[in-house]
Amino acid sequence: MHETIFKINEKEYILPGNRACQGCGLSLAYRYILKALRENTIVGIPPSCLCVLHGLYPTTSVIVPALNTTFAGNAASASGMVAGLRALNKTDITVLALSGDGGTYDIGIQSLSGAAERNTDFIFACYDNEAYMNTGTQRSGATPLGALTTTTPILTKQDPKKDFLKIMEAHHIPYLATVSPAYPVDLYDKFVKAKKIRGTRYIQIDTPCPPGWGYPTADTVKIGKLAVETGLFILFEIEDGRFRFTGRSKTMAERGKLVPLVNYVERQGRFKKMSIEQLGTLQASVNSRWEECLKRAEG
């Protein structure tokens, strides 16, 4: 990675001193997203950690044009910006809607599905920190099986995480990718590529969250890497229907094997009440998904 990191845009669009938590996976991802998309980008923001990161009126530490909207509406808001800019003949501006998992998997799914079905010319990126973190770690549709949240405080989440990538893939959009801030070059490359593609582009960001997941703030990159190395989160892209492993997942698919999931789970407080059965179920689903991806990569 040290060879390729130098190609990354040196300009900073998000400065230190923002309101994100220490060790925030989102702020790390956002920094590289903005570097990749550069100027001529407008960001759509729902009420979420990103809204908080952007600061309290009248100050902000982020130098991008950004529009806050309501929780359910980020993809519709982006559709409106795209339509408005087209009406004004400003067609060289990239519109990025950046929502958390709540604003994507749950309350945001309707407007996102509508915008993707219309193949709206925008990037929708979901920073998935696997719970409602902005309000203090409540369960979401993206929370994994066996995780403690403040609304599953004793029994842990009993349902598996929604397979949202499949849902987005079913919209047959031109570009779909997964990224992790633990692998910033892979993240950067995918956003650079996404910026050049027309139509709806969906990018899912695995976003480790120290307070929500229960690990030391210094371990965000370590946890992000473990998510990929255990196969829980797979780095890939689907361009015009063609699946391709990328980055660390690609090298693992070629010559590695998965790190056991327990190595990931045991480092996070949210899994401290996870049962052996739940761990087994989660490991089985990771294995079967990995096999599925290996088959797709061959095909």
Match 């190395």 to its residue by tokens: 229
| Binding interface with other proteins (CB under 8 A) | 39-42, 44-45, 51-52, 54-60, 62-70, 72-73, 76-81, 83-88, 90, 93, 110-111, 113-114, 117-118
- Backbone φ, ψ for residue 28 (5° rounding): -65, -45
Nearest to 127 by CA among 51, 192, 69, 199: 51
Match 């407007």 to its residue by tokens: 111
- CB of residue 68 to other proteins, shortest distance in Å: 4
Read off the tokens for 217: 């703030």
Instruction: Provide CB contacts within 8 A for 82, sequence distance 6+.
Output: 95, 120, 121, 122
Q: How many residues does the chain have?
A: 299
Whichever of 73 and 247 has its CB closer to other proteins, that residue is 73
CB 92 within 8 Å of CB 195: no
- CB of residue 137 to other proteins, shortest distance in Å: 20
Whichever of 9 and 60 has its CB closer to other proteins, that residue is 60
Q: How many CB atoms lie within 10 A of CB 260?
A: 15
Read off the tokens for 135: 């309000």
Whichever of 85 and 197 has its CB closer to other proteins, that residue is 85
Task: Collapse the DSSP code of 250 into the 3-class scheme (helix H, G, I; strand E, B; otherwise coil) and give the result.
Answer: helix
| Alpha-carbon span 213 to 130, nearest angstrom | 9
Nearest to 178 by CA among 228, 143, 134: 228
Whichever of 73 and 146 has its CB closer to other proteins, that residue is 73
Read off the tokens for 10: 């040196």
- CB of residue 179 to other proteins, shortest distance in Å: 23
- CB of residue 283 to other proteins, shortest distance in Å: 37
Whichever of 88 and 276 has its CB closer to other proteins, that residue is 88
Match 């179920």 to its residue by tokens: 281
* Distances from the Cα of 228 to the Cα of 66, 207, 267, 268, angstroms: 31, 12, 15, 15
Whichever of 27 and 230 has its CB closer to other proteins, that residue is 27
- CB of residue 67 to other proteins, shortest distance in Å: 5
Whichever of 27 and 69 has its CB closer to other proteins, that residue is 69
- CB of residue 3 to other proteins, shortest distance in Å: 32
- CB of residue 111 to other proteins, shortest distance in Å: 5
